[in-house]
Amino acid sequence: MRARPAKARNASSQAGPPTKRRGSRQRSKSVSSRIFQHRSGDLPAFIEPCLATLVDKAPQGARWVHEIKLDGYRLQARLDHGAVKLMTRKGLDWTAKFPRVAEAAAKLPAETALLDGEVVSEDQNGIPRFSLLQQDLKTGHQGRIVLYLFDLLHLDGADLRGLPLYQRKAKLTRLLARSKGAIRLSETLSEPGPALLKQACRMGLEGIVSKLADAPYRSGRGHDWLKAKCSDRQELVVTGFVPSTADAHAVGALVLGFYQNQKLQYAGRVGTGFTHDIARSLYRTLKSWQRKSSPFSPVPAEERGRHGAIWVDPQMVVEVDFHGWTHGGRVRQASFQGVRTDKPPEDVVREVKQ
C-alpha cells in the first residue's frame, strides 16, 4: 500500500468538536472569533499564514487533532471567479510555477475561496520529498506535484477565520469532495500525538503538525499549531562556500548561519547532500555574490586560515537536515536538502524546541 502523506493507519479522518472533560476549563470565545465569524466582504488579496511552533514532543489530549507534516512549500490558493493565484507564505506569486495545480484550483465548486496548504512532490511510495520538488521546479515536470490543502480561510464572501478549526476543516472537506489529482485534502488524524509521530517517522515522513480543534485561524507564529519532527531540520543562510577538491567549479561545502537579534550567527558547514550538478549550480550562483570580508563579526575560529571559506553576500536560504546542535551552536552531521526561495534570509532564526 502506498504511504499517502495525508493518511495514517488506523486513524480517524473525521474530527469533530473537542470533547469536554470534567473539571477542565473551556476557553471563552476569542476576540478574533467575535470579529471574524461569518463576516462577509471582499476576498482578501492575501492573509498572513498561521505558523506552527516547534516542540520536542507531540501533544495529546481531546482538544488536539493532527496532520502529517508535509515536506514542500507553503502555498495559499486564491480563487476569484475562476481566476487562480498561488502565493507563498510571504505573498509572492508562484502561479506560473504550478500550472497543473492552478488548473485544478480553478475547477473547485466555489465562486471565491482562500485556501491554505502545502505543495509537494511525491515519490513512488507517496512520500513527499523536498528534493524531488526542487527537481520538478527546475525541469518543469508537473506530474507528481500535489497541493495538499489543510485550511479554508474564506469561502464565497464569508470570512471563516473566526470559526473553530473543526468547522473550517468540515467545510474544506465538502469543498474538496470531488477533487482528485493535483489538489487533495490533508486529512485530520485523531490518533494520540506521540503514537502518530512514531508512525510517521517509521514511514519516512518529516513529522506531524498538531492543532487545537477549537481554535480560530490566527496569523503568525503561535501555539494553536505545534510541529514535532522526526529529525532536526530547518532553513539556514549561506554565508560562504569551500570549493570541491574534485571540481574547482563546484562547491564542496557551504558555510551556514542564522539571525539572532538582527545579527548573523555562525552555524557551521554542510558538505553532503549535493549532486554534482547541484554543486556546480550552487558554485555559479554563489561565485557571483562573492565578497572580500566575512559577514560574521568576529570571523568564526573554524573559518580562519588558508583553508577558510570564500565569503558571499548572505542572500541564499537552504534547507538542511542534521542531527542536533553542538554545545558551540554548530549543526551536527548536516545534509543539504535544497534551496528555499520562499523565505528571505533575514527571517531565518534558530528554531528552538519548546
Instruction: Report which DSSP code applies to 140.
Output: T
CB count in 10 Å sphere of residue 34:
11
Helix then strand then coil, % of the chain, to nearest 5? 20, 35, 45
Q: Dihedral sign, CA of 233, 235, 240, 244? A: positive
Q: What is the pLDDT of residue 180?
A: 83
Residue % of the chain over a pLDDT of 90: 82
Q: Residue 39's pLDDT band (boundaries 50, 70, 90)?
A: low
Q: Residue 5's pLDDT band (boundaries 50, 70, 90)?
A: low
- In this predicted model, what pLDDT tens digit does every residue of 80-95 receive, in sequence order? 999 999 999 999 999 9
Do the domains 232-347 and 46-229 match in fold?
no
Q: Residue 41's pLDDT band (boundaries 50, 70, 90)?
A: confident
pLDDT at 278 over 70: yes
- Topology (CATH) of 46-229: D-amino Acid Aminotransferase; Chain A, domain 1 (3.30.470)
Each domain of the chain, given as residue ranges in start order, spans 46-229, 232-347
For 36, list phi and psi in degrees, rounded to 5: -95, -20
Catalytic residue among 7, 20, 29, 69: 69
Residue 107 annotated in active site = no
Q: What is the pLDDT of residue 353?
A: 84
CB count in 10 Å sphere of residue 110:
15
pLDDT at 8 over 50: no
Query: What is 232-347's CATH superfamily?
Result: Nucleic acid-binding proteins (2.40.50.140)
- What are the grid coordinates assigned to 4, written together? 499517502
If we measure between CA atoms, which residue out of 135, 338, 151, 152 comes closest to residue 236? 338
pLDDT at 36 over 60: no
| Contact between residue 258 and residue 348 where contact means Cβ atoms under 8 Å apart | yes
Nearest-angstrom CA–CA distance, 346 and 348: 6
| Contact between residue 50 and residue 32 where contact means Cβ atoms under 8 Å apart | no
Question: Which of left, alpha, beta for 151 (phi over 0: left; psi -120 to 50: alpha)?
Answer: beta
Q: Residue 354's pLDDT band (boundaries 50, 70, 90)?
A: confident
pLDDT at 31 over 90: no
**Residues belonging to the chain:** 354
Residue reference for cell 476569542 = 30
| Contact between residue 9 and residue 46 where contact means Cβ atoms under 8 Å apart | no
User: Can you count the helices (H) and strands (E) in the chain?
Assistant: 6, 16
- In this predicted model, what pLDDT tens digit does every residue of 279-311 receive, in sequence order? 999 999 999 999 999 999 999 999 987 677 999
Mean of pLDDT values over 128-149: 95
Nearest-angstrom CA–CA distance, 68 and 66: 7
pLDDT at 45 over 60: yes
- In this predicted model, what pLDDT tens digit does every residue of 153-193 receive, in sequence order? 999 999 999 999 999 999 999 999 998 899 999 999 988 99
